[in-house]
Structure 1
Amino acid sequence: MLPSERREFVRTHRTCVFGHRRRHDGPAMSVVYYVPTDDDELLVSTMAGRGKGRVVQRDGKVGLCVLDERWPFTYLQVYADAVIERDRDFVIDVMMAVGGRMSGQALGDEARPFVEAMADQEDRVVIRCRPYATFASPPRHLQSNDQEEKISHWLSGGVPWDAADPG
């Protein structure tokens, strides 16, 4: 996958597994919707009291495994520096955008008061993720049980987020 294809994959999808380090045990992971920006940031809405928000304040490094919701299942890992945004209007705008991505259509202005109330009640924040690298693992799928000799595997690799395409 070319660097430009990796960025386009992230821009055109909507769900990811959000992962972060934990002090004990393995990494924490949860499936979330995200909103890409024109500046290639990825915005995630969460409650301030949840682990995602607390860890970002402490650590600032996250991983997002961007998921393709179509078969054959594909994914792309994105490594990002993350910060918490608390500006209420920004938080509500992101929540409105997430609602649109979830439903497949933009939320109307009539939904904003409900979203505002939810943001206040749940103490919502936005995690602003700034990608710095990607890691792609090419998918291999069996279409039937007689393809064993056709399966091939190769190594994957990390690429800086802003890398240029070769040639």
Structure 2
Amino acid sequence: MNRGERKEFVASHRIAIFGYGRREDGPAMTVVYYVVDGDDILVSTMAARAKARAVERNQKVSLCVLDEQWPPTYVQVSCNAKVVTDPDANVDLAMRIAGVMAGSPMPEDVRPIIAEGVSKENRVVLRLTPYATFETPSRHVHSTDDLNENLVHGLGTSLPW
């Protein structure tokens, strides 16, 4: 994929694996819904969750954006993250995420319900600013005809976002 195709892939999908460093043990990963906001990627989480606490410790995170169709295709994005606590930004994001989950935008009349949930859960926005992507050319086997000398996996490479 070229740069434009990678950005379009991220913009046109809705779920990702969010990766971050833990204080102990290996890296942590969790599935998240996300939305794109200009050049940034936004994730909603509760302030008390490990994702938000990890971003406060170390702004370096990764997203592995997944295609929900078979065969699996993905784009890994390296980001600098920050926690945003602004209540209006959190409600706006929660409205957008609910729309992504539902498959269509949320009507404005549900905003008070969403706002109440955001407040009760003490939600924050994780604003991720991509700076690099890691691409591994995908090779898929759709049938036995694909098993031949042309089915070769190459090495991946880190590319500027």
Deviation (angstroms), 1:110: 1.6
The two structures, once aligned, show a CA RMSD in angstroms of 1.0
Q: Distance in 2 between matches of 1:70 and 1:111?
A: 30
Q: Any residues of structure 2 matched to 1:23-62 within 5 Å, and which?
A: 23-38=23-38, 40-62=39-61
Deviation (angstroms), 1:152: 1.6
Alignment TM-score, normalising by the size of structure 2: 0.96
Q: Distance in 1 between matches of 2:8 and 2:145?
A: 34
Contact 1:74–1:138 (CA<8 Å) still a contact in 2? Answer: no
Deviation (angstroms), 1:34: 0.5
Deviation (angstroms), 1:6: 1.1
The letter for the 2-side match of 1:18 is F
Q: Distance in 2 between matches of 1:154 and 1:86?
A: 42
Secondary structure at 1:42's aligned position in 2? Answer: strand
The letter for the 2-side match of 1:156 is G
Deviation (angstroms), 1:8: 1.4
1:101-159 residue CA offsets vs partner (Å, 9 max, x unmatched): 11110001121111111111100000000000001112211112343214221111111
Alignment TM-score, normalising by the size of structure 1: 0.92
The count of residues paired between Structure 1 and Structure 2 equals 160
Contact 1:18–1:29 (CA<8 Å) still a contact in 2? Answer: yes
Q: Which residue of 2 aligns with 1:2?
A: 2
Secondary structure at 1:70's aligned position in 2? Answer: coil
The letter for the 1-side match of 2:4 is S
Q: Any residues of structure 2 matched to 1:1-167 within 5 Å, and which?
A: 1-38=1-38, 40-149=39-148, 150-161=150-161
Q: Distance in 2 between matches of 1:102 and 1:152?
A: 36
Which stretches in structure 2 are left out of the alignment for 5+ residues? none
Q: Distance in 1 between matches of 2:129 and 2:59?
A: 10
The letter for the 2-side match of 1:98 is I
Q: Distance in 2 between matches of 1:108 and 1:28?
A: 34
Contact 1:135–1:159 (CA<8 Å) still a contact in 2? Answer: yes
Which stretches in structure 1 are left out of the alignment for 5+ residues? 162-167
1:37-68 residue CA offsets vs partner (Å, 9 max, x unmatched): 12x10000000000000010111110000011
Q: Distance in 1 between matches of 2:145 and 2:108?
A: 54
Structure scoring higher RCO (CA < 8 A, sep ≥ 6) equals: 1
